Structure 1
Amino acid sequence: MPQKKRTNYYKDLSANYSRPGLVSPELGTKLVAEAERILTLKESSLPDIDSSYTLEQIEQENKDWWPTHCEALRQGRGDILTGEYRDDLIYLCQDGPYYGLDEQKEREKHWWALIAQPGVTMCWPIVMFSGEHTFFEWKCVDLETNETLAKGNVTWVRRGHRGACYLKTEQLTFYRDVFAPESLIELITTA
């Protein structure tokens, strides 16, 4: 069987988050502004997939959204990250399941604080899209020691900008810390 050619998962996206140092501060600022704009497009009801809102359009919107999500996380913008979810989110992970936006809030703020802490950069070496599905692998790299302090893989079921994320599954592993100290929690922007 022939070996499949390796892929640059970011070749058609607006920014590359596969490792530290590839996104300028200016581009990061633009992506956060775009993330804030995308949040305004979320509808109160999950839109239907039909001829006026196709899977192809949803997949393109998910590709457009992806770099904004990465930058929001790198900047500790918990307000944006929470806004990316539907109110009736189903979140399946080893600490879950969580239903809605309130159940996972306490736990997820610790995750965000650890992976967005100063001196650490979150990277997403793999991201793939199929309709409303976005699969990715992530890791957090300590910029001083180059150690991986956390990693995982995630699938978001996101109905484009209009629908947002209604199902998230995640496997995550923390190597160095499990709960963030209050000094890191305070760095996360909340709604």
Structure 2
Amino acid sequence: MKDLGSLSYFLGLEVISTDDGIYLSQAKYASDLFAGAGITDSRTESTLLEPNVRFTPINGTVLDNPTLYRQLVGELIYLTVTRPDIAYLVHVLSQFLSAPRTIYYAVVLCILRYIKGTLFHGLYFSAHSSLSLRAYSDADWAGDPTDRRSTTCYCLFLGYSLISWRAKKQTFTARSSTEAKYRALADTTA
């Protein structure tokens, strides 16, 4: 066995260690993703999506070749390892892998342009933060227009460092916003 020194790059994750903490990023992975998607222009997006946009399986026309869409969504799923800011929208787009449509592909390109503008965003784990564990959860109520199911979102912090997050459609139909939020809280603590 040979000592290769401190970790700097592993499975698409860039690791920068300092005395103050560890920074994780996927900037190189994202740059390779732009090339694969054919995004060569310098245009970027400052936000992911307009608020209150709803996606349904009948928006737009079906893509002739869904392979690129599926590949890009899969790569975006891996990118959520260090980019919790895109987790919810990638979760929504992954629901349309069986019959992707043109409007969803346009949203994928919008996400890629947003990532291009925020390329070096990532996770920072401070060496000096407290060891207090905090959790936040939320849920919409009947947010999916097709099956009326709610979506749970949560994030866990250790000190000031984000250590876990999730966006997931609930497996049942909540009868009230209180029930949806209660289930989100239960999922957070499970």
**Shared fold, TM over 0.5:** no
Name the structure with the higher strand share: 1
Larger Cα-atom Rg: 2
> Normalization by structure 2: what TM-score?
0.29
